[in-house]
Structure 1
Amino acid sequence: MDLGQRTDDEQTKLWNGPAGRAWVEVQPVLDQMFEPLEDLLVAAVATGAGSRVLDVGCGTGGTTLAVARRLGAKGSCTGIDISDPMITAARARAEREGTPASFIRADAQSHAFAPARFDMIISRLGVMFFADFVRAFANLRHAATEGAQLRFIAWRSAAENPFMTTAERAAAPLLPNIPARRPDAPGQFAFADQRRVRRILQESGWAGIDIRPIDIACTLPETELVRYLTRLGPVGLILHAADDRTRAEVIEVVRAAFAPYVHGAEVRFTAACWMVGARAPS
């Protein structure tokens, strides 16, 4: 979801309102879609030296729980997110599974972490929404031990991710109030420019910065496509308040626009992302 036009307070309100509730509702679909990205982070934890892991922007906790299961008794994983509905869902999942992950409902940009608490910090598409990126990554650096690893995945540009903007492009003639994306604002594609990402990490005290492009095949069931496109992203937010006629028209037009991605019972697209690595200097 792109919240790039919103202030920090507005983001807090949204993630604790319709946006957060929508992510909880569609959680199984999103977990399936982004499982390949989750797998990359779980593998990074497994091959690294970290045993106390922080998952930033953890949402409903899929990656946090996967890491906690992988670490077992050898370590721990804590998720942090600004959204109360999503953190509530994450805690409930952990309790149902009996997985000993913990969750913090807070803004990682300003949360008072204990110093040198974590020896690995990860994020799956969760670090592009901060109001002040340098402040946020400096705060994460404060929470990291000396030599701690940072590994996160972020979207590359909107142009490289046409699946992610199909709904708003198709719906634009019917929904003229869809907010325009600003590439320099916090939001889904805020980290499109790897030079900007490198500068943010350098200014916030991280070293050993490594930024690599990855292109990951993702899927979701065709039967879930309409639910996905009507609940998430800018179009999903507007449809919450749309009248029945407008809603029906938008769904028809937008569903047709996704036809190139539909292959029988499966929807397929490529997630064009950055895999970013860094370390806290000793």
Structure 2
Amino acid sequence: MNAASQTAGEQSKLWNGLTGRAWVETQDLLDPMFKPLEDLLVEAVFAGSESQVLDVGCGTGSTALAVARRLGAKGRCIGIDISEPMITAARARAERENTPASFIRANAQNHAFEPASFDMILSRFGVMFFDDFVQAFANLRRAAKDGAELRFIAWRSLSENPFVTTAEHAAAPLLPNLPARRLDGPGPFAFADQGRVSRILEESGWAEIDIRPIDVACTLPEKELVRYVTRIGPLGLILHEADDRTRTQVIETVCAALAPYVHGAEVRFSAACWRIGARARSA
């Protein structure tokens, strides 16, 4: 097995296992927390238009459903994700809401989309996990019509997002096996380097590349802080294996470290991200 296929297998295992289930079980926290970022994507969709829109790495479907509601009966939104638990949750949400979004469980890097079928491709934190970014964005380019818009949001650097890493830094002395974040491959911070993102898009057939830093205020209920930090990220992957004593120590230590972000009944932090736009280059 080569390195690329091994990485792809790791991502599939991750998102179809503990991590995927955790995102499903915490969607009631994550969707409101990231809604300000979702809104930045959805507002770019022309309400009531006949646009065909693809949401890449759609997760449990929040953005795809919001786009489908905005499009109405004339347009169409399809979400794609590698995670079976998350796609199952997205389909269930669409059925409950009677919202006409559809969902595909597949890897957008190599899925056989109908060529030139989308007017717009969107993603909220869903495009940083491919094992070959140029191949993935080239595949998305083939799925896009000439001149189609690409819009997505990705994290900037770890150093600019201290809230994201405070919990694991605080817990590390108590959890020697805590997995380190990978910055050189698939993962939330794979697009921290603006120049790298630009090169990937240029090489894969996208033009008019526009990469802008944004800092967006996000919140979650203080009463849900422990559930959030013990389920999401590297800490969520390992803490379930700890004994009760260690788990209690970790939670106490992490909550103390995150105290500066707690303001009454809310936890507040700034998400330092890139808002990235491009257009499908004509063949």
Q: Which residue of 1 aligns with 2:168?
A: 168
Q: Which residue of 1 aligns with 2:259?
A: 259
- Residue pair 2:215, 2:272 contacting (<8 A) in 1 also: yes
Q: Which residue of 2 aligns with 1:113?
A: 113
Q: Which residue of 2 aligns with 1:140?
A: 140
Cα pair distance change 1:75/1:135, threshold 3 Å: same
- Does residue 1:206 correspond to 2:206, yes or no? yes
- Residue pair 1:50, 1:120 contacting (<8 A) in 2 also: no
For 2:125 and 2:10, how far apart are their aligned partners in 1?
A: 19
- Residue pair 2:110, 2:139 contacting (<8 A) in 1 also: yes
1:117, CA displacement in angstroms?
Answer: 1.2
TM-score by length of 2: 0.95
1:49, CA displacement in angstroms?
Answer: 7.3
1:50, CA displacement in angstroms?
Answer: 7.0
For 1:36 and 1:50, how far apart are their aligned partners in 2?
A: 25
1:54, CA displacement in angstroms?
Answer: 0.2
Q: Moved runs in structure 1, 4+ residues, more than 3 A? A: 47-50
- The aligned amino acid for 1:43 is E
Q: Which residue of 2 aligns with 1:155?
A: 155
1:82, CA displacement in angstroms?
Answer: 0.4
Q: Which residue of 2 aligns with 1:97?
A: 97
Q: 1:73 aligns to what SS in structure 2?
A: coil
Cα pair distance change 1:204/1:48, threshold 3 Å: farther
Q: Which residue of 1 aligns with 2:3?
A: none
Q: Which runs of 5+ in 1 are unaligned?
A: 1-5
Q: Which residue of 2 aligns with 1:42?
A: 42
Counterparts of 1:175-190 in structure 2, within 5 Å, are 175-190=175-190
1:157-203 Cα offsets, whole Å, 9 max, x none, are 00000000011100010012222233221111110010000000001
Paired positions, count: 277
- Residue pair 1:50, 1:148 contacting (<8 A) in 2 also: no
Q: Aligned-residue CA RMSD in angstroms?
A: 1.3
- The aligned amino acid for 1:270 is S
- The aligned amino acid for 1:22 is A
1:221, CA displacement in angstroms?
Answer: 0.5
Q: 1:218 aligns to what SS in structure 2?
A: strand
1:46, CA displacement in angstroms?
Answer: 2.8
- Residue pair 1:7, 1:131 contacting (<8 A) in 2 also: yes
Percent pairwise identity: 78
Q: Which residue of 2 aligns with 1:191?
A: 191
- The aligned amino acid for 2:253 is V
Q: 2:218 aligns to what SS in structure 1?
A: strand
- Residue pair 2:180, 2:234 contacting (<8 A) in 1 also: no
| Greater RCO, CA 8 A, separation 6+ | 1
Q: Which moved more, 1:45-54 or 1:269-278?
A: 45-54
- The aligned amino acid for 2:151 is R
- Residue pair 1:50, 1:119 contacting (<8 A) in 2 also: no
Q: Which residue of 1 aligns with 2:123?
A: 123
Q: 2:173 aligns to what SS in structure 1?
A: coil
Cα pair distance change 1:31/1:84, threshold 3 Å: same
- Residue pair 2:118, 2:148 contacting (<8 A) in 1 also: yes
- The aligned amino acid for 2:272 is A
Q: Which moved more, 1:240-249 or 1:46-55?
A: 46-55
- The aligned amino acid for 2:174 is L
Q: Which residue of 1 aligns with 2:72?
A: 72
Q: Which residue of 2 aligns with 1:59?
A: 59
